Amino acid sequence: MDMIRIDNFRLTDRNKANGNVIFNFEGEEAWADFIFYLQANDCLSIRLGRHDSRLNTADIEEFIRQNLQALKKQVQPDVERLRRERRERIMAGQD
């Protein structure tokens, strides 16, 4: 199972973000919702949310365990960007 990309990365709570992780599954794209637990601009842990029924839950959880550090590094710039955008909206009185 190969990860292709992370789509729709978004803050869903003060210290939580979600993203749709797209995998190559038997030549087709399949998705899994990953939940990223945050502290400040750091990702502390990642859990599996809902996912495409074609994907095996245990396989995705094993993928997260094996790639945890790489996934954290990959989303770091997005976390920083989303936090910055949120601060800017608050400062502008839009949130």
Q: How far is CA 72 from CA 28, 38, 49, in A?
A: 25, 10, 16
Question: In this structure, are residues 41 and 79 in contact, taking their beta carbons and an 8 Å threshold?
Answer: yes
Distance CA 91, CA 53 (A): 42
For residue range 12-62, list pLDDT tens digits in order: 999 999 999 999 999 999 999 999 999 999 999 999 999 999 999 999 999
At 1, is the pLDDT very low, low, confident or very high (cuts 50, 70, 90)? confident
Q: What is the CA radius of gyration of the chain?
A: 14
What's the confidence (pLDDT) of residue 93? 84
Question: Higher model confidence: residue 65 or residue 90?
Answer: 65
Structure confidence at residue 95 (pLDDT): 61
Interval 67-72 mean pLDDT = 98
The total number of structural domains in the chain stands at 1
Structural domain span for residue 12: 2-91
